[in-house]
Amino acid sequence: MTSAAVSVVQLTHFFDHSELPALDGIDAEIRAGRITGLVGPDGAGKTTLMRLMASLLVPSQGKVTTCGFDTRCDPGPIRERIGYMPQRFGLYEDLSVIENLRLYADLRAVFGRQREEAFERLLAFTDLKNFTSRLAGRLSGGMKQKLGLACALIRRPQVLLLDEPSVGVDPISRRELWRMVRELVDEEMAVVWSTAYLDEAEQCDEALLLNSGKLLFSGAPGALTQRVSGRVAQVRGLPENVKRLTLARLLNHPRVLDGIVQGAALRLLLRDVSDVEVAQLDLPDGAELIPVSPNFEDAFMDILGGGPGGKSELAERYDSLADDGKPVVVAQGLTKRFGGFTAVHDNSFSIRRGEIFGLLGPNGAGKSTTFKMMCGLLKPTEGIGKVAGIDLRHAASKARNRLGYMAQKFSLYGDLSVRENLRFFSGVYGLRGAEQRKAIEQMIEVFELGAYVTARAGELPLGFKQRLSLACAMMHKPDVLFLDEPTSGVDPETRREFWNHINGLVQKGVTILVTTHFMDEAEYCDRIGLIYSGEKIAEGTPEELKQRVASDENPDPTLEDAFISLVRASHVERSLVA
């Protein structure tokens, strides 16, 4: 085997302002001819490590050698030999596709015939040939990433560093990106692909798993999943109404290490391989335990020693909301046109009390427009939206008082303290005096925020930020909770804790609307509406959607498979009509 393209030895890195290292004692090697996945949740240190490899940062301790040069003393030759695609779109939005390419060619000193050839090759490779004069800012998420990739490849690099290329990219474009990068790799090129999506790790030849600055694993992804083989199983055949209760109970079971909802089934990670019987888990009649092949996330949870259990203090203290049988959220023929452009066309759905409904679709499909209409922020051109029986056309503010909202991005006031945030949001939702104080104290207790009440919200550890966001959304005891990609990029432990709360709240009759393009979030939903190009192209339980695309070649499709097939089918149908 050739020598390492990048080698990292005893690397520890500190940023001035924090006492904890961003990276702690990392040893790793990256080899040519392979895609190495840099895998870990947000804040794990992926970008820092990548920037150290690119010689953009100088390590505090230890040594990084890229292409045979020390990043500390020889940044010049390294930069000539690497291609780096940063996380935040590193292109000029006001320049066209070809102008961006030209700029990068100038910067890399690629001229003359060599340049023409490079452009020809890259435009063909990225399929951007027909869009050369379009402004980069006007490209879709997937096309932007392709252009970013093309710019990083102007001069064929020895090491290609891709920082979260699949963020903000829909599953279809994501598969394309993977295919493209796979094509690129040869004996001379090493690719580093960082990602917060654990399922991507399995597509890498090699994976480095980072968590809170520590390297938890390095090696072939299969070697990691090996450690949990025989311990992962699905519980199927559960009656719908006891699914979440069963999960909450199982998560506290001594033989269960971890568990999540997967459509109608539960996925369990067992503590040991000894064959567990259905009876031992006190499963209800008709339920069966079927072994399934383990994935990267199962193994990650195993390394972490399991999840946070199944208890939700928040849900336990929540007052039960009575079910009168009427739907809590209703959309009837929602349509929104902006000038000549139809963002949403005739979208209808209704959500029962205590149901989790997901709006699933790629970016720009009309999810957020639908979502905004359901909050009363946008007036629909046609159609009606109702929340908790209140028509949004007439009493949007009143309707908003009945709903809570939580977004993926931490969207509280970072300069305000935890208590100031809680006070603000409770005040805005009309809580006052003793009631307000009680609600705040309760949230501090439930989410164990006691140690942080005076800390600036922006400086909280990620997990606590997530808790505070949920606390701010729930203080006024809403009937309905709207979630916008609530757990993307969040570490699996925090994600489990979050869904514990949601599962518990649903038991108490809280109704949930989730908008997302992440499959694992969609798996938690009771029903999914699939949105594409402004229209709902399918609706059903995750199981039903999967069944619709099941075929002989793929008898057990994943939700992502279902998503891609359904979107493609709708696309074909549409071009036939046109």
Partner 1 sequence: MLPRLCSLIVKELLAALKDPKARFLLIMPPLIQTLLFAFAVTLEVNNMTLAVQNLDGGKWSYELIQRLSASRTFTNVIAVESEEQIMRALDEQLAIAALSIPQDFSRAIEAGIPADVQLLLDGRKTNTAQIVAGYTEQIVGALQQELSGGEQGNVVLIERNWFNPNLNYKWFTLPSLVAILSTLIALLVTAMSVAREREVGTFEQLLVSPLRPVEILLGKAAAALLIATLEATGIILIAVYGFRIPFEGSPLLLYSSMIVFLLSIIGVGLFISSLSMTQQQGILGAFTFMVPAVILSGFATPIENMPEWLQFITLGDPLRWFLVIVRGIFLKGMPAADVAANTWPLAIIAVITLSAADILFRKRME
Footprint of partner 1 (CB under 8 A): 338, 375, 377-378, 396-398, 400-401, 403, 405, 407, 409-416, 420, 423-430, 432, 456, 472, 482, 484
* Cβ closest to partner 1, residue 51 vs residue 456: 456
Alpha helices in 320-411 (DSSP H): 367-374, 396-400
* Cβ closest to partner 1, residue 55 vs residue 466: 466
* Cβ closest to partner 1, residue 177 vs residue 387: 387
What lies within 8 Å, CB to CB, of 109 at 6+ separation is none
* Cβ closest to partner 1, residue 456 vs residue 548: 456
> At 272, is the secondary structure helix, strand, or coil?
coil
In this structure, what token pair is assigned to residue 469? 């966001």
Least distance to partner 1, CB of residue 418, Å: 13
β-pair partners for 360: 516, 530
Least distance to partner 1, CB of residue 440, Å: 12
Least distance to partner 1, CB of residue 454, Å: 12
* Cβ closest to partner 1, residue 398 vs residue 548: 398
For residue 15, count other CB atoms closer than 10 A to its CB: 12
For residue 64, count other CB atoms closer than 10 A to its CB: 25
What lies within 8 Å, CB to CB, of 230 at 6+ separation is 273, 291
> At 29, is the secondary structure helix, strand, or coil?
strand
Q: In what order do the strands lie in the sheet with 6-13?
A: 23-30, 6-13, 61-66, 69-70
What b/e readout covers 309-324, taking b as 16+ CB neighbours within 10 angstroms?
ebebebbeebeebeee
β-pair partners for 338: 341
Q: In what order do the strands lie in the sheet with 159-162?
A: 82-85, 159-162, 190-195, 35-39, 206-211, 214-219
Least distance to partner 1, CB of residue 462, Å: 15
Least distance to partner 1, CB of residue 488, Å: 14
* Cβ closest to partner 1, residue 274 vs residue 411: 411
Least distance to partner 1, CB of residue 420, Å: 6
* Cβ closest to partner 1, residue 209 vs residue 334: 334
Least distance to partner 1, CB of residue 212, Å: 24
